[in-house]
Amino acid sequence: MSEHVDSVKTYTAVWLILLILTGVTTGVAYIDLGAFSVVIALLIAAVKMLLVALFFMHMRHSTKLTQLAAAGAFLWLFIMMAFTLADVWTRGLVGTPGR
Amino acid sequence: MKLPLFPESASTFAPDVDHLLFYLVGVSVFFTVLIFGAIFYFAIRYRRRSDNELPKPIHASLALEIAWSVIPFGLTMIMFAWGANIFFKESRPPKDAMQIYVVAKQWMWKLQHMEGQREINELHIPVGRPVKLTMTSEDAIHSFFVPAFRTKQDVVPGRYSTTWFTATKPGKYHLFCAEYCGTKHSGMTGWIYAMEPQDYQAWLSGGRSFGSLAENGEKLFQDLACGNCHKADGSGRCPSLVGLFGRSVQLADGRFVNADEAYLRESILQPNAKIVAGYQPLMPTFQGQVTEEGVLELIEYIKSLVPPPAAGTGTTPAEINVNPGVATATPSNR
Amino acid sequence: MNTAAIETQENYLNAGYGLKSWLLTKDHKRIAILYLITITIFFFIGGIFASLIRIELLTPQGNLVSSETYNKLFTMHGIAMIFFFLIPSIPATLGNFFLPMMIGARDLAFPRINLLSWYLLVIGGAFAIFAMLAGGVDTGWTFYTPYSTTYSNSWVIATALGIFVSGFSSILTGLNFIVTVHRMRAPGMTWFRLPLFVWANYATAVIQVLGTPVVAVTLVLVFCERVFHIGIFDPNLGGDPVLFQHMFWFYSHPAVYIMVLPAMGVISEIISVFSRKPIFGYHVVAFSSMAIAVIGFLVWGHHLFVSTQSVYAGLVFSFLSYFVAIPSAVKVFNWTATLYKGSISFATPMLYAFGFIGLFTIGGLTGLFVASLGFDVHVTDTYFVVAHFHYIMVGGTIMAFLGGLHYWWPKITGRMYPENWAKLSAAIIFVGFNLTFFPQFILGYMGMPRRYHNYPDEFQVLHVLSTAGASILAIGYLFPMVYFMWSLRYGAVAGANPWGATGLEWTMQSPPPVHNFDEIPVVTHEVYDYSTVVKEGVEVG
Amino acid sequence: MAEQAHAPVESLALREQFNTPEQQKESSAFGMWIFLVTEVMFFGGLFLAYTIYRNTYPVVFGMASTSLNAVIGALNTAVLLCSSFTMVLGVRAAQLGRRRALVIFLILTLLLGMVFLGVKAYEWNQKFVEHHIPGAHFHFEGAAEQGPAQLFFSLYFVMTGLHALHMVVGAGILSWLLYHAVRGRFTAEYMTPVDIAGLYWHFVDIIWIFLFPLLYLIDRHMR
Ligand code: HEA
Ligand code: HEA
Ligand code: CUA
Ligand SMILES: [Cu+2]
């Protein structure tokens, strides 16, 4: 907002980094890193997300409340994923199909 | 008209669940009486006597708040542990359980005994012997519910589910479908006949048999030409299926799975979902070529493939169920 | 004040006349009235389906309607009651009306969005009613796949669309409440001076915002599966029908707290006013609302105990279910303790509050029964569960809703309702309710499955009792309808504060003026400080 | 209507429920963030389904994923990032009250958004040609099990489809902004709509930042 006008230089830098990261993540995808492929891809995506959120969406300057809301969204997403996966990954572990 | 208020108890689980019920009702009655009593007492005792009276505010008491959080919490943890204990028992059928296969479809129950007897909407079982049901559905989700046994388990298309019980009292008990499955959901009912063991034997030999499941499975195995690939000695590019059931299988991605019914089913219908270590994903899917009953027969046949030098000769397939669930590395000796 | 005064005084009701002044209003109070009318219609629709269900279950043979019709009846009963009545009920009517006033704001933060969310409910409702008239839906309110995607031959798509749209209504209400509570409080209105009703609605809004989108996307997937046959949950393609259940209950369990938290807020207000004491343990009660909202998201798997969910997940979900019970228990104890050494009036709202506490306790305690794994295996999908949730939703929430409606009726309309009729109908509803649903606990334990159109003979007596109770209940619900209408014209004029209540909404005239406050008040008193009110002399209507 | 009496019409500025422009601005921005929270959960449901199925059918999902064109995907990602860049410059122009710059950046953002959607349309058409549209005529060569392959493409279409739908809505919002920007409705004091539209546009970008690797990339190395 009017109190915080970031410079075009900052925006340009962020934009270039984003483009570079897109290139990197595409390139890395062709290298076999086993299970780490997923990790790297998601890590790069997370960094890109943070860049967009912090700079383009002015998260750096926004109130604690806004930051809390955003963090809350991801916490809830995590809850949903974690508990559902907790079921899927432990199915049949007691040695009885369907339990 | 009759007015029964309590269900019959006819399985080993029934008393367990009933006792838990008594505990739960006890706790509930206690709190309900406490709260109703307090409300009535306070309401009468402190009723408003004049329009302008102003009672003194009472300050909150931390000790009280903690007390009435912690005490109920303790009581609920008993509920949790007790219920979990029963549930754990219900989830682990004993190894020597008698195997029954169940295929549910809109709107009937198809039940198969190992010896080949098939029943529709009826199940005959002996008293005093654990019975394990392996169930699947051909369409929607159903649920196998026997109130007198206090057991229920959803029957889900595309996978196996399991339940078990030991009947304790001869008699005729309701079988309900408890998961809503369409128009005649309420008509998808039947009877469980629990019989004295000798009566059960008589019933078994009296009924029509369609050949045992394993025999039918063997026929199917030949018809579908599974044997072209899967040789008993494990030659060729396919694993031998002898002694497979109950073993822990190493997969291409390094994980281990227990070769239970669910795994065998998946191996037949979705062969590429889990690839056995050291093999290529060559096996075609048999989805659409075999019915659910057919898959069950194949599984029963595969179960019956016991390596020749196994301990006793007359063992039933269920008994060679070697330490299921234990993910020990058994490097394939094929 | 007299009748003439109430008619000449400028207020939100006489600020404009004609349909347009209502349908295009941005006034939260008028929107609340629009909601009230809408949800009442849906309550009656749902109630008529319920009555047909009960009549059908009088006899075991199932000979009144066909099984297909019966399945549609309970489905449409559940859908009308849950999505179009109970979820919008308290937040969108009483919450909408009073939340801005209670925190000292002129309106919600986004009045146009508020109006939009009413329209969304109406549009969603129109889809649902269209589906009902065109032939109905028969999936159960839970839409379990693959039945809903593959096997049902009914109007699933229209209904799903209706729920999807009304879901956005719910989301927008929640969004509006959250922003309003954070940004629009009057000077001096600190968080711990908020009335507990505001806390409850705030907690509810958090659930609406975090949960509802998930059921929305789940319905989109069901929709796509039916329309384009793409099979996200289709077991024939290797899809997982239990995944649907996870996604559905991720919303629908927290949604039961959307249905009960605002009711708890109403009860906190009523108990305090009619015992003329601040709620015992105000902070604890406020925090327990938030605790319920948060922990409520961790327990959804207790609906899946027999669904082929893994045993371990079942253990975790059962365990956590007990954590959500504690804040509820704490509330009940604090309400009871508030009565101690109070000055207790037996006005109708208070009777409803007593009814709520009692019935919610029974409903909640039986929730603990079904959260116990071994026990739930026996009673899940039986009438035990039906009784559990009707005890909370009908015995709890509707009691609170009626209590709140009586409590705030003088403020909303400027008129009193007839006290004796109100007490009589409260008693009828209480008796009818228990007779309807208590036998269902016994039925359930005996093994009577739910969603059954015919049943074995031995269950008949209990079913007959239940139907008898339902008839009494239906009559009980008719009374308030009639006397509320009557009071609009003939009720005694209420005055600004007939109950001697604290809270900013009672400081203004009844009915309130258009912008609530000419000047935003500065709050200096603690919440529920009755000394100020009583000293000024209570004005009795 | 009476309520409107003391709201100055010309500047769209302060609505009657607010006391100060500050309060109004903060409320709008916070409201948008809360809306974005709901969007996270909305797409979250899809990411959940994706995670579960990819876990269950790693091999088939790998094959199906690899059949997508990663280069096109990467270029399209770049297009979208550029549109975010022009959007943020537009917001900056609005903050500084530069009307012409705002108009230009809004047009650029819209154009880039259209390019993205155009490329997406091309990709979908490609799927149609290859019979990779889930349904009766679905066929994915290479995988023995058609079922899980179809699951992948179902998710692909639902995820990219809903993302595209959000882009379309975003384009609508941008057009509305453009209309008002041209007429000079936004000033350095009052530019809240531009600000919150920007938030929305960037958020849609973030969704794609995750869709791209998950759908196009992570199993690439296996081929
Ligand atoms: C407003 C609605 C509402 C509310 C508030 C609740 C509250 C609770 N519910 Fe309920 N529930 C439903 C509506 C609701 N439920 C519905 C609609 C269904 C069925 C859906 C369907 O399948 O169609 C259902 C189903 C349902 C199930 C699944 C049953 C099954 O299908 O097999 C379970 C299982 O755990 C459960 C548990 C609970 C628990 C533990 C609470 C707790 O929050 C209750 C907490 C309250 C108390 C505990 C009472 C107060 C406490 C005291 C007075 C003091 C004493 C306290 C202790 C000893 C702790 N509910
Ligand atoms: C807010 C939620 C809500 C409410 C208020 C109610 C209210 C009632 N419900 Fe509800 N019910 C559900 C939510 C609710 N229900 C849900 C979610 C299900 C599960 C659905 C499913 O399985 O998918 C269910 C299922 C359900 C069943 C189980 C059906 C089955 O499984 O086969 C039964 C059976 O008795 C029942 C009965 C009643 C009755 C008698 C009322 C009464 O309280 C209603 C009383 C109200 C009126 C009657 C209307 C007002 C009065 C009049 C208009 C007067 C004139 C009318 C007459 C004289 C008839 N309900
Ligand atoms: Cu089968 Cu219900
Ligand atoms: Cu629940």
Q: Residue A29 sits in which domain range? A: 8-90
The distance of C89 to chain A (nearest Cα, Å) reads: 26
How many angstroms does the Cα of residue B228 sit away from the middle of ligand 4? 51
pLDDT at C392: 96
Does residue A79 lie in a domain region?
yes
Query: What pLDDT is recorded for position C401?
Result: 97
Closest to B261 measured CA to CA, from B332, B159, B165 = B159
- Counting the structural domains of chain A, the total is 1
How far does the CA of residue D104 sit from the closest CA of chain C (Å)?
30
Write down the pLDDT at residue D223.
56
Residue C293 alpha carbon to ligand 4 centre in Å:
13
DSSP B191-236: EEEEE-HHHHHHHHHHS-----HHHHHHHHHHHTTGGGT--TT--T
**What backbone torsions phi and psi does residue B119 show, to the nearest 5 degrees?**
-130, 155
Looking at the structure, tell me whether residues B255 and B191 fall in a common domain: no
* B134 bridge partner residues: B101, B162
Ligand 1 centroid, distance to C367 Cα (angstroms): 3
The DSSP bridge pattern shows strands B190-195 and B151-155 to be unpaired
Q: Which of D27, D35, D158 shows the shortest C-beta gap to C109?
A: D27
Output the pLDDT for position C174: 97
Chain C closest-CA separation from residue D182 CA (Å):
25
Q: Calculate Rg over the CA atoms of chain B.
A: 27
Chain centroid to CA C110: how far?
A: 23
Alpha carbons C3 and C490: distance in angstroms, whole number? 9
pLDDT in tens, C377-400: 999 999 999 999 999 999 999 999
Average pLDDT taken over every residue of chain C: 93
Asked if residue B198 and residue B116 are part of one domain, the reply reads yes
DSSP C94: I
B48 within a domain of the structure (yes/no) = no
Tens digits of residue pLDDT in C400-410:
999 999 999 99
- With a cut of 90, say whether residue C330 has pLDDT above it: yes
Q: Are residues B224 and B296 in the same domain?
A: yes
pLDDT digits (tens, 9 = 90+) for C213-250: 999 999 999 999 999 888 899 998 889 999 999 999 99
Average pLDDT of C464-472? 96
Give chain B positions within 8 Å (CB) of A98: 135, 153, 156, 159-162, 262
Nearest to C446 by CA among B150, B193, B28, B168: B150
What pLDDT does D3 receive? 38
Nearest to A98 among B161, B324, B325 (CB): B161
pLDDT at position B318: 39
Nearest to C347 by CA among C435, C275, C249, C255: C275
Answer whether residue A96 is part of any domain.
no
> What pLDDT does D1 receive?
33
Q: Is C524 helix (H, G, I), strand (E, B) or coil?
A: coil
* Residue in this structure with the two tokens 């998260």, named with its chain if needed: A59
Q: Quick check: B147 contacting C, CB < 8 Å?
A: yes
- Res. D9 pLDDT band, cuts 50 70 90: very low
Structure token pair of residue C363: 């409903």
CA distance B135 to chain D (A): 21
Q: Is B131 in the pocket of ligand 3 (CB under 6 A)?
A: no
The complex scores an ipTM of 0.92
Q: Does residue A50 lie within any of the structural domains?
A: yes
Q: Which residues of D touch C237 (CB under 8 A)?
A: 146-148, 150-151
Give the residue on B whose Cα is nearest the Cα of C74: B180
User: Of B159, B257, B285, which to mutate for an interface test with D (greatest number of D Cβ within 10 Å)?
Assistant: B285
| pLDDT digits 0-9 by tens, D90-139 | 999 999 999 999 999 999 999 999 999 999 999 999 988 888 888 778 88
Smallest CA–CA distance from D56 into chain B, residue:
B273
Residue C491 beta carbon below 6 angstroms from any ligand 1 atom: no
B31 lines ligand 1 (CB under 6 A): yes
Residues in chain B: 334
Q: Is there a single domain that holds both residue B187 and residue B220?
A: no
Query: Which ligand approaches the C-alpha of residue C389 most closely?
Result: 1
- In chain B, residues with a C-beta closer than 8 Å to the C-beta of A97 are 134, 159-162, 260-262
CB C219 within 8 A of CB C139: no
Residue type, C523: V
Residue B6 lies in a domain: no
In a domain, B53, yes or no: no
What pLDDT is recorded for position B253? 78
pLDDT at A94: 85
Closest ligand, as measured to the CA of B105: 3
Nearest CB to B16: which of C306, C374, C451? C374
CATH class of C2-532: mainly alpha
**C537, pLDDT greater than 60:** no
Q: Hey, is the C-beta of A88 within 8 angstroms of any chain B C-beta?
A: no
> Over the stretch D55-80, which tens digit does the pLDDT of each residue have?
888 888 888 998 899 999 999 999 99
Ligand 2: which residue has its CA nearest to atom 43? C394
Q: Does B162 touch chain A (CB under 8 A)?
A: yes
**Quick check: bond before C513 cis, omega within 30?**
no
* Residues in a beta bridge with B171: B194
Cβ distance C240 to D46 less than 8 Å, yes or no, reads no
pLDDT digit string (tens) for chain B, length 334 residues: 567 889 999 999 999 999 999 999 999 999 999 999 999 999 999 999 888 888 888 887 889 999 999 999 999 999 999 999 999 999 999 989 999 999 999 999 999 998 888 899 999 999 999 999 999 999 999 999 999 999 999 999 999 999 999 999 999 999 999 999 999 999 999 999 999 999 999 998 876 667 788 888 888 888 888 888 888 777 777 888 888 888 888 888 778 888 888 888 888 888 877 888 888 888 888 887 888 888 888 988 888 888 765 444 444 443 333 333 333 333 333 2
Provide the shortest C-alpha distance from residue B223 to chain D (in Å).
21
Give me the mean pLDDT over the A6-29 stretch: 93
Q: What domain count does chain B have?
A: 3
Domain ranges in chain D?
22-222
Determine the average pLDDT of the residues in C518-534: 84
Domain assignment of residue B269, given as a range: 213-328
The rounded Å distance from CA B96 to ligand 2 centre is 46
CATH number at residue B299: 1.10.760.10
For residues C269 and C263, what is the distance between their CA atoms, to the nearest angstrom? 10
At C529, the pLDDT band (50, 70, 90 cuts) reads: confident
Residue-level pLDDT at B309: 58
Residue of B nearest to C327 (CA): B69
Ligand 3 atom at minimum distance from B106 CA: 1
Q: Are C136 and C72 in contact, with CB atoms under 8 Å apart?
A: yes
Q: Which residues of B touch A92 (CB under 8 A)?
A: 258, 260, 262
**Chosen domain end from B183, B206, B229:** B206
Closest-CA residue to C272 (of C355, C186, C334, C327): C334
Q: What is the mean pLDDT of residues D1-23?
A: 57
For residues B284 and C142, the model is more confident at C142
* C-beta of B142 in contact with ligand 3 (< 6 A): yes
Q: Looking at the domain D22-222, which fold is it?
A: Four Helix Bundle (Hemerythrin (Met), subunit A) (1.20.120)
As a 3-state breakdown, chain C gives helix, strand, coil percent values, each rounded to 5, of 70, 0, 25
Interface test with A, best of B88, B89, B90, B91 (most A CBs within 10 A): B91
Residues of D near B (Cβ–Cβ under 8 Å) read: 56-60, 143-145, 147-148
Is B135 in contact with A98 (Cβ distance < 8 A)? yes
Instruction: Please name the helix (run of DSSP H) or strand (run of DSSP E) that holds residue D109, with its range, or none.
Output: helix D99-129
Cβ neighbour number for residue C24 with a 10 Å cutoff: 12
Among the bound ligands, name the one nearest to the CA of residue C298. 4
Domain CATH code at residue B192: 2.60.40.420
First CA to last CA distance, chain B: 66
